[in-house]
Chains A and B, each alone.
Chain A
Amino acid sequence: MDKLNFNRFFRLHTVTGIVISVALYIIFFAGAFTLFRTEIKAWENEETIAETTATNEFGVMDINLDLILRKLDSTGYSVYERDFYIRKENATSLYALFFESKDSLAINGGAKELLITQDFNKSTFSIKEIHEKYNLDRLFYLLHFFFQLGGLPGYYLAGFVSFFFLFAIVTGVIVHWKKMVSNFYVFRPFAKLKTIWTDAHTVLGMIGLPFQFMYALTGAMFCLGLLIKPLGNMLPESITDKNTIEIINNKVRYTNPEFTNSVQLIHPFLDSLKTSWKDFQTKSIRVARYGNQNSSITVSGVVDKEKQFYYNAQISYDFATDKITSIADPNNLSYTKSVYEVAGNLHHAEFGNVGVWTHYFLKIIYFILSLITCFVIITGVLIWLTARDKKNAQEKQRRFNEQVGVIYLAISLTLFPITALAFTVSKLIPENFNLERKLILNWVFFGGWLLSALFFWFKKDNYFTNKYTLLLGGVLGLCIPLVNGFLSGNWIWRTFLNENYGIFVFDVLWLGIGTLSVFAVFRLRKKN
């Protein structure tokens, strides 16, 4: 490539990189923790993540859902004509969300959140009104597409950041193309800082390339689906998938308002799914107008995760017309559904049931690669900064560059200690404050982030920012397994012995991060 094009693409790479850097850093950082969503939730709620063998509808209870609903109706909750959503909460309980009843005369017909727990003797169950606990897994999940910036706008912002990330990857590869192989083996840890950063940026960027390309692409796919929509207008008709399962028709039994005594709707439906989908496990059910003849149901779950890469199953069924309105049948997946399934599984690091340790091994590899990407982003900003810190540059321009660098680093690097702080705080909030959890966690996380970012901005010393965010994050990170052990008794060895691997892995993760950070702080040397 000639000099002209090389310099232009170098410039493009720099500019796109700088523009998206902070947003991309936040996405990868929050995304790295989102990989452990289930584990975070289990950790905060002291639950066991259990893949119970399916013996009944949810693999949770020996009582069928219709019976539970009947019981609910007889205890004063209005169920008939209601829309609701039920999902498996943990090994022994179900979470149910009842939407407000359309029937104004219905007793107890407001929106309700219930926790239905199987009792010890296994033949009965208890019902408790709850308010779903706001957990940090949700905060990080939403943050990794900027949902807190007012919903959809944040979502699209994340999409465009992904798309320009894709562009930055391509320009980066073009710029480094010639020296890609030779530079890969270059390792100069004792050179001057800028050289170290350049080496780290190119080598780690190279190692993470497939991973980053996958995330750039799937990120754009998920968030910018809107841009594909115009294609749909050029579609005259849509083709529905072939039906591959047989549904037991219960319409006959299903028109009587006195349904509470006789009708079973969900149970037979799930039963018929089970005959078609071997080892099907229900994860969640959504029902519209229960008990009405115009009722419809959507069931999501997984089949035989052990044997196949495609395992997510979903079916929507309309009782009024007795038709399947949409289906994703993993055993007979159409091309259209499989594209999404592959992208989703790659994005979420879910490769089916590969065994507990392989699963966590994969998640940790993903986690490390995400943090490597964060590092590549930071080193990119640092290279940009030092490359422009020249004596002959204009004073005003230099000031501006310096400010940008300081602010970028302050925002990005404080994310680490504030994450560690948020997890510690989340564990310290007493049960009585469950309703205020969302408020508290959001204030601690976003308020704390803002304050610490401002502090490091005004301090104007990148070395200081780097050192103290690492130290703070490391120390707070080491507190996480301790706080968990003191407050819940779930000490690392105990969770390991109890085979409560979700909590175990999360604590060990923080132990690792904390130790490494503190170690890194002591190895820091000031250099200009």
Chain B
Amino acid sequence: MPANPKYLEKSNWQRFAKITAGILGGYAISLLAHACFLRWFDKEAVMETATFTLFIVWTTLLLLPFFFKNGWTCWLLYLGVSLLLLSVLYL
């Protein structure tokens, strides 16, 4: 039994929004979140930990947009979180 098409996203734009939010936004947030740790923890240790945790966090963030009804809301959220992390990093 394939997934019931009645529940699947029909708009291609919505699909595009969710996939890009997951891949690009997810990567950006994952990277920035790890970068924030650079401020307080041993730098090499953070870098080395990131070699695997980056992908775990990214996978989770790749999954998250598909819980949203509207993919663009998710984009907005991801942008907001990225900005927040950037401000933590550089302010």
Instruction: Mark A residues whose CB is within 8 Å of B.
Output: 3-12, 14, 163, 166-167, 170-171, 174, 217-218, 220-221, 224-225, 227-228, 230-232, 234-235, 238-239, 334-336, 339-340, 343, 384, 387-388
Which B residues between 7 and 24 are near A, CB-CB below 8 angstroms?
7-9
Q: Find chain A residues with CB under 8 A from B60 CB.
A: 170
User: Is A221 within 8 A of B52, CB to CB?
Assistant: yes
User: Is A239 within 8 A of B3, CB to CB?
Assistant: no
CA of A14 to CA of B3 in the docked complex: distance in angstroms?
Answer: 9
Known: A234-B35, A238-B44. A8 touches B9 (CB 8 A): yes
User: Is B46 within 8 A of A11, CB to CB?
Assistant: no
Contact of B8 among A11, A218, A335 (CB under 8 A): A11
Nearest CB in chain B: distance from A178 CB, A: 15
User: Is B48 within 8 A of A3, CB to CB?
Assistant: no
User: Is A234 within 8 A of B38, CB to CB?
Assistant: yes
User: Is B62 within 8 A of A9, CB to CB?
Assistant: no
Which B residues between 50 and 85 are near A, CB-CB below 8 angstroms?
50-52, 54-56, 58-60, 62-63, 66-67
Interface of B is mostly: helix
User: Is B52 within 8 A of A343, CB to CB?
Assistant: yes
User: Is A217 within 8 A of B56, CB to CB?
Assistant: yes
Nearest CB in chain B: distance from A314 CB, A: 16
User: Is B54 within 8 A of A227, CB to CB?
Assistant: yes
CA of A224 to CA of B59 in the docked complex: distance in angstroms?
Answer: 14
User: Is A339 within 8 A of B66, CB to CB?
Assistant: no
Nearest CB in chain A: distance from B44 CB, A: 5
User: Is A167 within 8 A of B62, CB to CB?
Assistant: yes
Q: Find chain A residues with CB under 8 A from B31 CB.
A: 227, 230-231
Which B residues between 36 and 50 are near A, CB-CB below 8 angstroms?
38, 42-50
Q: Find chain B residues with CB under 8 A from A14 CB.
A: 2-3
- Most chain B CB within a 10 A radius of its CB, from A9, A174, A220: A220
User: Is A228 within 8 A of B89, CB to CB?
Assistant: no
CA of A10 to CA of B3 in the docked complex: distance in angstroms?
Answer: 6
- Most chain A CB within a 10 A radius of its CB, from B38, B51, B62: B51
User: Is A3 within 8 A of B55, CB to CB?
Assistant: no
Q: Which residue of B lies closest to A213 (CB)?
A: B56
User: Is A335 within 8 A of B55, CB to CB?
Assistant: no
Nearest CB in chain B: distance from A437 CB, A: 36
Interface of A is mostly: helix
CA of A432 to CA of B71 in the docked complex: distance in angstroms?
Answer: 63
User: Is B52 within 8 A of A217, CB to CB?
Assistant: yes
Known: A3-B7, A12-B66, A231-B31. A167 touches B59 (CB 8 A): yes
User: Is A339 within 8 A of B48, CB to CB?
Assistant: yes
User: Is A170 within 8 A of B59, CB to CB?
Assistant: yes
Q: Which residue of B lies closest to A237 (CB)?
A: B43
Known: A7-B3, A8-B3. A231 touches B56 (CB 8 A): no
User: Is B48 within 8 A of A239, CB to CB?
Assistant: no
Would you call B91 an interface residue if the criterion is a C-beta within 8 Å of the partner chain's C-beta atoms?
no
Kindly list 5 other residue pairs between chains A and B, CB separation below 8 angstroms, not including A4-B7, A8-B3, A228-B47: A14-B2, A14-B3, A170-B63, A231-B47, A235-B47
User: Is B8 within 8 A of A7, CB to CB?
Assistant: yes
Q: Find chain A residues with CB under 8 A from B45 CB.
A: 335-336
Contact of B48 among A12, A170, A171, A336 (CB under 8 A): A336
Known: A8-B8, A11-B8, A231-B31. A217 touches B3 (CB 8 A): no
Instruction: Mark B residues whose CB is within 8 Å of A.
Output: 1-4, 6-9, 27, 31, 34-35, 38, 42-52, 54-56, 58-60, 62-63, 66-67, 89
Q: Find chain A residues with CB under 8 A from B59 CB.
A: 163, 166-167, 170
Nearest CB in chain B: distance from A406 CB, A: 19
Contact of B38 among A220, A235, A384 (CB under 8 A): A235
Q: Sample 13 A-B pairs with CB under 8 A, ordered by A number.
A: A3-B4, A8-B7, A166-B55, A166-B59, A170-B63, A220-B52, A221-B51, A221-B52, A231-B34, A234-B35, A235-B38, A336-B45, A343-B52
User: Is A217 within 8 A of B55, CB to CB?
Assistant: yes
Known: A7-B4, A14-B2, A388-B2. A339 touches B63 (CB 8 A): no
Nearest CB in chain B: distance from A15 CB, A: 10
CA of A3 to CA of B6 in the docked complex: distance in angstroms?
Answer: 10
CA of A343 to CA of B52 in the docked complex: distance in angstroms?
Answer: 9
Known: A8-B8, A224-B55. A167 touches B63 (CB 8 A): yes
Q: Find chain A residues with CB under 8 A from B50 CB.
A: 228, 231
Nearest CB in chain B: distance from A461 CB, A: 23
Q: Find chain B residues with CB under 8 A from A174 CB.
A: 63
Q: Find chain A residues with CB under 8 A from B48 CB.
A: 335-336, 339-340
User: Is A336 within 8 A of B63, CB to CB?
Assistant: no
Q: Which residue of B lies closest to A16 (CB)?
A: B62
CA of A192 to CA of B37 in the docked complex: distance in angstroms?
Answer: 53
Q: Which residue of A lies closest to B51 (CB)?
A: A221
Q: Which residue of A lies closest to B22 (CB)?
A: A167
Known: A7-B8, A171-B63. A231 touches B52 (CB 8 A): no
Q: Find chain B residues with CB under 8 A from A334 CB.
A: 44
Nearest CB in chain A: distance from B66 CB, A: 5
User: Is B7 within 8 A of A234, CB to CB?
Assistant: no
Q: Find chain B residues with CB under 8 A from A335 CB.
A: 45, 48
Nearest CB in chain A: distance from B9 CB, A: 7
Nearest CB in chain B: distance from A384 CB, A: 8
User: Is A239 within 8 A of B55, CB to CB?
Assistant: no
